[in-house]
Amino acid sequence: MKRLTSLQFVVVALLSATNPQGVLAQTPLPKPAALPKIPPKLTMRWLDTLTVDPTMRTENHEKTYYATVKLLRPAISTMAVDLELVGGQPVPGNSLRVECVFVQRLVTVEPSENQENFRIHAGSLQPRVGTPPTMVQKTIAIAARYGSERVSTTFTVDCPQ
């Protein structure tokens, strides 16, 4: 039976080689044209800059700095931008702390606004009982995040040693 199958194959191959339709049927099809590449997922960036005004101000006996997170365009709806003090730890009251610096965890940019200002608290000016502490300059890194975007900057403060 196996020999008969092989013989049938040879007969079919010979007959189709003399028949133009048979030759076409055995010709391999050309490779299909390459499919167009899918464009990368389009994303729209929102965060532009994060700046800290180096001028220390005094508010309610506390050292305060002002910072601004700027957007590339006005917000379409209320945008919650997360703040991060690099190396900071969460503290009660929805804030973060590193060294002597405290900042809120979130800044809200209102619709049609393209920036929002916020405060960075850098300790108390109240005199302590006893010897005044020695002050040491510290460089603090702060970042703003929105989705996968991140902008950051650094600033210098005087912290008690």
Domain boundaries, the chain: 47-160
- Render pLDDT for 53-109 as a digit per residue (tens, 0 to 9): 999 999 888 899 999 999 999 999 999 999 999 999 999 888 999 999 999 999 999
Burial 13-34 (b: 16+ CB within 10 A, else e): eeeeeeeeeeeeeeeeeeeeee
Cα angle, residue 86 at apex, residues 80 and 92 outer, rounded to 5°: 65
For the whole model, what pTM was predicted? Answer: 0.70
What is d(CA 38, CA 86) in angstroms, rounded to the nearest whole number?
37
Residue 72 near residue 45 (C-beta atoms within 8 A): yes
CA gap 84, 95 in Å, rounded: 10
DSSP 88: -
Q: Which CATH number fits domain 47-160: 3.40.50, 2.60.40, 3.40.1350, 3.40.1130?
A: 2.60.40
